[in-house]
Structure 1
Amino acid sequence: MAQRPSRPTTRKTLLGVAAVVALAALNAPAVAGFAQHAYHRYEINQPEYKAKYGHWALASLPEKYQLNSIHAILLHTGKVLLIAGSGNSVKLFEGRAFKSTLWDPATDTFKKIDTPADLFCGGHAQLPDGKILVAGGTARYEVLEGDVKRAGGAMLVKNEDPDRARTFPKGTLFRSPSGVEYRSQFPVRVPAAKKTPTGRIGPVKVTASEARVFVEAVEEGPLGITNTTEQYAIVGLQGKDADNLYGIANKLGLDKKDFQGIKDAYEFDPVTEKYTKVGSMREARWYPTLTTLSDGRVLAVSGLDDIGQIVPGKNEIYDPRTQTWSPAPTRYFPTYPSFFLTGKRKIFYSGSNAGYGPADKGRTPGLWDLRTNVFTPVPGLKDPDVLETSSSVLLPPAQDKKVMVLGGGGVGESRAATSRTAIADLDAEHPAFTTGPRLPENTRYLNSVLLPDDKVFTTGGSHDYRGKGASDILKSQIYDPAKNIFTPAADPSVGRNYHTEALLLPDGRVAVFGSDPLFADKADSRPGHFEQRVEVFAPPYLHQGGRRPDLALGGRTDVDHGSEVVLHTTDPAGISRVRLIRPGSATHVTDFDQRSVALDITRRAGGTLTVRVPDDASLVPPGWYMAVAVDTRGVPSRAVWIHVFV
């Protein structure tokens, strides 16, 4: 692995600055520190340094638009949708102060967006028409044991009436045989009971239907605790309704209450810049993964449900044409599993995830065939017990079908972390991981972003859980898949760990958002503060001097799979490659959409390039893409937007 950046300069400048530093050191350490900082600031702004390592700059985010960025999504308008929801703030959650901000990096301008629900820790994906599906979010915040005031838990609401479904609003009361009352925290709909004929002329068998809802005791304290199965009357029902409809609960206690998800789903329109509610999911989800399939539908898996437990493998698919959900094959995964579409109705799970779930369940990487619901493990990954909060990317170009896993930590609040990287070749006869080059340090929460020159930019992270012990890593690297090596990049000035995300921008820069450390000092004695600064990295290819390639569309924006696209450029002969890059959709160092597809150059004529879009919809899922031309120096053009339709 390459060493950290050396500090090249002229002999005259070096001796002069060294003399200043030495003189300052003789007078006072503080002055010496200032001189060293001044030298570093001078050095990183030199053209030679930028050309080798790139350059960081802070975006100017006005205070009125600042938010705890949990989700960052690049839109086909070139703007970035930043979603906080309640932003991991109980105060904002209780005040229903849900936030989204739209940032235009081209003009460095911002706009507040009305946010209809707490989309904090939901899932999201790019839809074929360019809208963004956002599904799930927060119904309830975690309450630690000792802070729980009212006993609560799951209540199954039963319906033995075969002729009528019933809906009970939030706040419905359930009364135990001993008279203790519990209040539902959400509305619940209970289908009609099921009728089953027992013979041609025999009686009909009625099977009670059921639906689950979270309840809490009306009164505070231990009176509401029960560890036995009880039947609960629904307060206000009489006669046959009281007989047919009732609650069943096994345990209602004062133990820890975890985060709870919502069923709500929305589409965000980049043109109108508004959220619109669509059909709700069948399951509530908090920390779900959404993956766009080759036919434009979206698979939703995992997440914490409406009682704070991981959804037990009940997956579902969203159809944007009808804006409704239908069941998908049943399979269990921990929350925010990293998925990659690798074939028609075939998903690769890298093993990376963002927490929540037992250490011995759903952690094995493998290929999942949605048609047969067969899961085939992919072996060979070293340190498989430190995959939580690891990073995963589909290496460019996507045609190679190679997925890289980088770093990671132990399950939960473990201090374990690794510098391991590994690459799975999914195009091999027997797919398996091989070990890649190590990161400079043991790292969890690493952000990894695909660049137009077929390299991968990685930045940030921490050694410890949520940056404990002041363990943020102020380093960046660039991975070259062709050479299988990391080279150092300029160091960021802002530490990033939990709740951080990064995106490639249309101009070739990389923007990094968020970070939610537990503590603010090395001794872990002061609470941390959410990082609201946005830092932008300009890779070395933007500092090579000379003219940058230009690119423009020569015709229609909408193209079909397998069709050709004419691009205008002043130097077609100087273009070495053209890439189709899907806009990112990132949260918790997981990007739901990121991929870079090679386009065959079929013709160079005059001031035009003709390129062909692959005809494989599993390689190029329908939607909007950035087309980028890269010259022989590795310098990319600014992106132009192309819409690949279903």
Structure 2
Amino acid sequence: MSTHRSLAAGQTPAAAAPAAGTWTAAGALPGPAYWAGAQSGAVPLADGTVLMAGGEDHRRNAQDTAVLFDPAAGEWQPTSALSVSRRLHTLTKLADGRVLAAGGLSGPYGGVSQAGVASAEVYDPATRGWTATGAMHEDRFAHSATVLTDGRVLVTGGVAPRSALSQKALDSAEVYDPATGEWTPTAEPMNDARGGHPAVLLRNGTVLLAGGMVPIGRGLYAGQSFCEVYDPAAGTWTPTGDLGSVRKSHQATLLRDGTVLVTGGDSPGLQDDWTYNPYSQWTAERYDPATGAWSAAEGMSTGRSHHRAVLLRSGRLLVIGGTDDSTFDVGYQNAEVYDPQARTWTPTGGMVEGRWAFAAAELADGRVLVAGGLVRSGAAVPDNADVVTGSTEIFTA
């Protein structure tokens, strides 16, 4: 006897839940945008919504738009705009649930002579408004921002003009106190100037900086293998083990066991084994804070730069999209998952639209949101105008 129940008149079947390892389209952003800074994209808020602010358009002009994504409704909602347009800034969730936007480049694209801004502002989810807070001691963009265990925020490095025709990396660092709204330079500068670098808060409360880039000419940048650790208690910087390969535009993620996994990045040229690689890295490396050393980890299926890495609740790591630094022309749809215990990579469903330099964040229910990004650029476009998307997608783990 069949147990099937027929639907009543006018009733529609319930939509099937997305299968694990798949992407589904979500509502579109108000306009196309991308986020070349790894820490300037999406921030999950306490109420389950996700805040995105700033970014850049297809002409690399800074944006002041701020929007909220409501996962329950699958919709984007406008919220108060930034008081200063920003790209290559940092967007950091504070311990009290507010969000700090700091530094970046503002206004129309200004080439290599354009200076960053020192201003900062704070978003309050309760009022959905931005309030100016203390300015940093130095103008900077392409820097990092890390919330320390005591709730203060460490900002490190970045890039600034060197002359009217060139740029320089910064070795300065400063700490923001949300209670006072003031910035204090660290007792000593970093050992190495760097920008575009990932920063990771380790289990012992120190902060690891891994690789990054330094300008070496007009519009030219070199990757780094140098790493160092900041001790907030002492206010000091200490060199630690070097990466096996120089890297920029890579990702660094704290795993559940306290080690750090670095994936991909731009690393053209001679490698540490004297082989030549003109493409983005497919290799990965793992840092052990107990020894201060990096060891080779299992490589990804493909090289990628300007990708995103999101730690899932299972403890596995989802690596998404990206591009190749030899051409920077097409965004990848590809995604794969790393199992730190098994030390294996497994392909998973690819995004509906390939992209790089996009925003990504884990939602309250464990799904992963991606939004915006570059789709095509360089030789892949007819008029030298980047193709930027406003589409968003959700990954079901």
**TM-score band, normalised by the shorter chain?**
0.7 to 0.9
Residue aligning to 2:388? 530
For the structure 1 residues 88 and 415, does the alpha-carbon distance in structure 2 shift closer, same or farther, using more than 3 Å as the test?
farther
Q: Is 1:347 aligned with 2:178?
A: no
Q: Is 1:494 aligned with 2:349?
A: no
User: Aligned ranges for residues 156-195 of structure 1 at < 5 Å?
Assistant: none
User: Aligned ranges for residues 284-299 of structure 1 at < 5 Å?
Assistant: 284-299=139-154
Give, in angstroms, the shift of residue 480 of structure 1.
0.7
Residue aligning to 1:405? 262
- Aligned partners of 2:34 and 2:56 also within 8 Å: no
Q: Is 1:55 aligned with 2:22?
A: yes
For the residues of structure 2 that align with 1:137 and 1:273, how far apart are their CA atoms? 22
Residue aligning to 1:417? 280
For the structure 1 residues 348 and 86, does the alpha-carbon distance in structure 2 shift closer, same or farther, using more than 3 Å as the test?
closer
Give, in angstroms, the shift of residue 439 of structure 1.
0.8
Give, in angstroms, the shift of residue 409 of structure 1.
1.0
Could you tell me which of 474, 499, 515 is aligned with 2:373? Answer: 515
Give, in angstroms, the shift of residue 127 of structure 1.
1.2
For the structure 1 residues 128 and 50, does the alpha-carbon distance in structure 2 shift closer, same or farther, using more than 3 Å as the test?
closer
- Is the partner of 2:19 in helix, strand or coil? helix
For the structure 1 residues 536 and 373, does the alpha-carbon distance in structure 2 shift closer, same or farther, using more than 3 Å as the test?
same
Residue aligning to 2:103? 136
Residue aligning to 2:272? none
- What TM-score does the superposition give when structure 1 sets the normalisation length? 0.52
Aligned residue type for 1:416: Y
- Is the partner of 1:76 in helix, strand or coil? coil
For the residues of structure 2 that align with 1:109 and 1:504, how far apart are their CA atoms? 16
For the structure 1 residues 334 and 524, does the alpha-carbon distance in structure 2 shift closer, same or farther, using more than 3 Å as the test?
farther
Q: Which moved more, 1:277-286 or 1:517-526?
A: 517-526
Q: Is 1:378 aligned with 2:235?
A: no
**Percent of aligned positions with the same letter in both sequences?**
23
Q: Is 1:394 aligned with 2:394?
A: no
Residue aligning to 2:48? 78
Residue aligning to 1:99? 65
For the residues of structure 1 that align with 2:55 and 2:325, how far apart are their CA atoms? 26
> 1:336-360: per-residue Cα shift (whole Å, max 9, x none)?
3211122566221222x3x553467
Aligned residue type for 1:337: H
Could you tell me which of 68, 73, 92 is aligned with 2:33? Answer: 68
- What TM-score does the superposition give when structure 2 sets the normalisation length? 0.81
Larger RCO (CA under 8 A, 6+ residues apart)? 2
Give, in angstroms, the shift of residue 143 of structure 1.
4.5
For the residues of structure 2 that align with 1:347 and 1:409, how far apart are their CA atoms? 23
Could you tell me which of 78, 88, 111 is aligned with 1:112? Answer: 78
Could you tell me which of 319, 329, 333 is aligned with 1:474? Answer: 333
- Aligned partners of 2:59 and 2:385 also within 8 Å: no
Residue aligning to 2:7? none
- Aligned partners of 1:406 and 1:446 also within 8 Å: no
- Is the partner of 1:275 in helix, strand or coil? strand
> 1:582-606: per-residue Cα shift (whole Å, max 9, x none)?
xxxxxxxxxxxxxxxxxxxxxxxxx
Aligned residue type for 1:77: D
For the structure 1 residues 438 and 363, does the alpha-carbon distance in structure 2 shift closer, same or farther, using more than 3 Å as the test?
closer
- Is the partner of 2:48 in helix, strand or coil? coil
- Aligned partners of 1:283 and 1:311 also within 8 Å: no
- Aligned partners of 2:103 and 2:141 also within 8 Å: yes
For the residues of structure 1 that align with 2:131 and 2:235, how far apart are their CA atoms? 34
- Aligned partners of 1:368 and 1:376 also within 8 Å: no
Give, in angstroms, the shift of residue 374 of structure 1.
3.9
Residue aligning to 1:633? none
Aligned residue type for 2:72: A
- Aligned partners of 1:333 and 1:362 also within 8 Å: no
After the TM superposition, list the runs of 4 or more consecutive aligned residues in structure 1 that deviate by more than 3 angstroms.
85-90, 139-144, 305-312, 355-363, 464-467, 520-527
- Is the partner of 1:261 in helix, strand or coil? coil
Give, in angstroms, the shift of residue 517 of structure 1.
4.9
Structure 1 unaligned spans of 5+: 1-44, 145-256, 540-646
Aligned residue type for 1:486: W
For the residues of structure 1 that align with 2:152 and 2:58, how far apart are their CA atoms? 30
Residue aligning to 1:278? 133
- Aligned partners of 1:136 and 1:284 also within 8 Å: yes
> Which structure shows the bigger proportion of residues in helix conformation?
1
> 1:25-78: per-residue Cα shift (whole Å, max 9, x none)?
xxxxxxxxxxxxxxxxxxxx999x935xx211111226xx23414221111121
Residue aligning to 1:627? none
For the residues of structure 2 that align with 1:373 and 1:56, how far apart are their CA atoms? 44
For the residues of structure 2 that align with 1:140 and 1:109, how far apart are their CA atoms? 28
Structure 2 unaligned spans of 5+: 1-14, 36-40, 270-276
Could you tell me which of 312, 324, 341 is aligned with 2:170? Answer: 312
> 1:198-250: per-residue Cα shift (whole Å, max 9, x none)?
xxxxxxxxxxxxxxxxxxxxxxxxxxxxxxxxxxxxxxxxxxxxxxxxxxxxx
> 1:447-502: per-residue Cα shift (whole Å, max 9, x none)?
1111111111111112235632x4x33211111111000111112121112x2121
- Aligned partners of 1:366 and 1:377 also within 8 Å: yes
Larger radius of gyration: 1
For the residues of structure 1 that align with 2:302 and 2:206, how far apart are their CA atoms? 34
Q: Is 1:463 aligned with 2:324?
A: yes
> 1:316-345: per-residue Cα shift (whole Å, max 9, x none)?
111111001111131143213211122566
> 1:508-536: per-residue Cα shift (whole Å, max 9, x none)?
11111222256276487653311111111
Q: Which moved more, 1:106-115 or 1:418-427?
A: 106-115
For the structure 1 residues 533 and 523, does the alpha-carbon distance in structure 2 shift closer, same or farther, using more than 3 Å as the test?
closer
For the residues of structure 2 that align with 1:426 and 1:445, how far apart are their CA atoms? 25
Q: Is 1:333 aligned with 2:302?
A: no
For the residues of structure 2 that align with 1:139 and 1:81, how far apart are their CA atoms? 19
Residue aligning to 2:9? none
- Is the partner of 1:290 in helix, strand or coil? strand
Aligned residue type for 2:68: L
For the residues of structure 2 that align with 1:273 and 1:450, how far apart are their CA atoms? 28
User: Aligned ranges for residues 260-279 of structure 1 at < 5 Å?
Assistant: 260-279=115-134
For the structure 1 residues 506 and 120, does the alpha-carbon distance in structure 2 shift closer, same or farther, using more than 3 Å as the test?
same
Give, in angstroms, the shift of residue 441 of structure 1.
1.3
For the structure 1 residues 59 and 315, does the alpha-carbon distance in structure 2 shift closer, same or farther, using more than 3 Å as the test?
same
> 1:409-432: per-residue Cα shift (whole Å, max 9, x none)?
1379x95312101111113xx231
For the residues of structure 2 that align with 1:523 and 1:126, how far apart are their CA atoms? 36
Give, in angstroms, the shift of residue 362 of structure 1.
5.9
- Is the partner of 2:172 in helix, strand or coil? coil
Give, in angstroms, the shift of residue 276 of structure 1.
0.6
Corresponding residue pairs, total: 360
